[in-house]
Structure 1
Amino acid sequence: MVYNREQLIGIVSGQMPAKRWKHVEGVMQTAVELARRYGADPVKADLAALLHDLAKFWPVERQEAVIRENGLNAELLDHDKQLLHAEVAAFISQRDYGVDDPEVLDAIRYHTSGRVGMTQMDKIVCLADYIEPGREFPGVERIRELAEVSLEEALLAGFDSTISFLLEKKKAIFPLTVLARNDLIAQLKKRNPES
């Protein structure tokens, strides 16, 4: 069965506190704006943003079970539990809600960690998650300003912010995020060899 947008809104909003649903609405709005600004499909951006935190408030044990039982990325199990929900949300979106667009599913899957070779949609949803209007953290205004001119520059600043936070807290950094950051630097260098 394929669900329409209104049905998905009911399903997703019913699985989280109202405050988190407000965040999801902000990510949806921001993802659509970024998609329009950078020439991506706003309908896909809206759908990926709508589903990105689908499993965020599931018990960690349930998220881990979905990963184990379905042969998903087991490397996530050895890292911060905050990473699990993205992989689980992509899987559940496909299995239970009929989302079969790989671009949408990947944008959901990598919205927390990033990856090497991020697609435009990956970048849009990941960045929208960082800068939606309800987000408040040191440096978010600068990331919002960068988002006006460059997806890559803004996302790089977002990853830098996350990595700095994790270093400060003496937490492990998921290797894929470091690789995603390095890949963004390479993309920006290729575009502007002088920098």
Structure 2
Amino acid sequence: MEYTRDQLIGIVSGQMPAKRWKHVEGVMDTAVILAKRFGGDPEKADLAALLHDLAKFWPVDRQEAVIRDNGLNSELLEHDKQLLHAEVGAFISQRDYGIEDREVLDAIRYHTSGRVGMTNLDKIVCLADYMEPGREFPGVERIRELAEHNLEEALIAGFDSTISFLLEKRKAIFPLTVLARNDLIKATRAIL
């Protein structure tokens, strides 16, 4: 079955508190703005942003079961539970809601961790999640300023913020996030 955008909005918004849905709306709006600014596809950005937190409020044991039962990235089970919803959301978007666009699915899958070789859409959705208007954390204004002109530098600042926060809390850092950050730094140096 193919779902309309309005049907997907109803499905996703019904699976989270109103405050979180407001965040998703902010990510959708921001992703479209960033897509237009940085040569992305606004429709794909909107769709990936709409679905990015699909499984965020599912019980952790349900998310873990989806990963185990479907042969998804089991490395996630060894790290912070906040990482699970991205992998599960991408899987459910494809299995239950008929999303077949690999680029959209990957943008959902990597919106939390990033990855080496991020596509333009990956970067846009990940950055939109960091900087949507409802986000308030130290450094978010700098990320927003950088995003006016440079997608990669803004995303590096976002990853730096996450890594600093995790270091401060003495929490483990998911290796893919460090690799994604380093890859972006190498790519930006190659451009300069």
TM norm. shorter chain > 0.5? yes
**Gap regions ≥5 residues in structure 2:** none
Tell me, in whole angstroms, the C-alpha distance in 1 between the residues paired with 2:143 and 2:132.
Answer: 11
Q: Does 1:187 align with 2:190?
A: no
Cross-structure match for 2:37: 37
What is the CA deviation profile of residues 99-148 of structure 1, one whole-angstrom value per residue up to 9, with x for unaligned ones?
00000000000000000000000000000000000000001000000001
Cross-structure match for 2:105: 105
Tell me, in whole angstroms, the C-alpha distance in 2 between the residues paired with 1:151 and 1:93.
Answer: 26
Aligned length, in residue pairs: 192
Cross-structure match for 1:137: 137
> Deviation at 1:163?
0.1
Q: Does 1:165 align with 2:139?
A: no
Letter in structure 2 aligned against 1:178: V
SS of aligned partner of 2:135: coil
> Deviation at 1:39?
1.1
SS of aligned partner of 1:2: coil
Tell me, in whole angstroms, the C-alpha distance in 2 between the residues paired with 1:169 and 1:29.
Answer: 31
Tell me, in whole angstroms, the C-alpha distance in 1 between the residues paired with 2:14 and 2:96.
Answer: 15
Letter in structure 2 aligned against 1:36: K
SS of aligned partner of 2:22: helix
SS of aligned partner of 1:56: coil
Letter in structure 2 aligned against 1:90: A
Letter in structure 2 aligned against 1:148: E
Cross-structure match for 1:66: 66
> Deviation at 1:5?
0.1
| TM-score normalized by the length of structure 2 | 1.00
Letter in structure 2 aligned against 1:125: V
SS of aligned partner of 1:53: coil
| TM-score normalized by the length of structure 1 | 0.98
> Deviation at 1:191?
0.6
Tell me, in whole angstroms, the C-alpha distance in 1 between the residues paired with 2:44 and 2:68.
Answer: 28
Letter in structure 2 aligned against 1:144: R
Matches within 5 A, 1:74-93: 74-93=74-93
Cross-structure match for 2:23: 23
Cross-structure match for 2:154: 154
> Deviation at 1:2?
1.1
Following TM superposition, where does structure 1 have runs of at least 4 consecutive aligned residues deviating by more than 6 angstroms? none
Matches within 5 A, 1:114-133: 114-133=114-133
SS of aligned partner of 1:118: coil
> Deviation at 1:38?
0.8
Tell me, in whole angstroms, the C-alpha distance in 1 between the residues paired with 2:65 and 2:161.
Answer: 30
Instruction: Give the percent of matched residue pairs that are identical in Structure 1 and Structure 2.
Output: 84
> Deviation at 1:7?
0.1
Tell me, in whole angstroms, the C-alpha distance in 2 between the residues paired with 1:71 and 1:41.
Answer: 30
Tell me, in whole angstroms, the C-alpha distance in 1 between the residues paired with 2:106 and 2:165.
Answer: 25
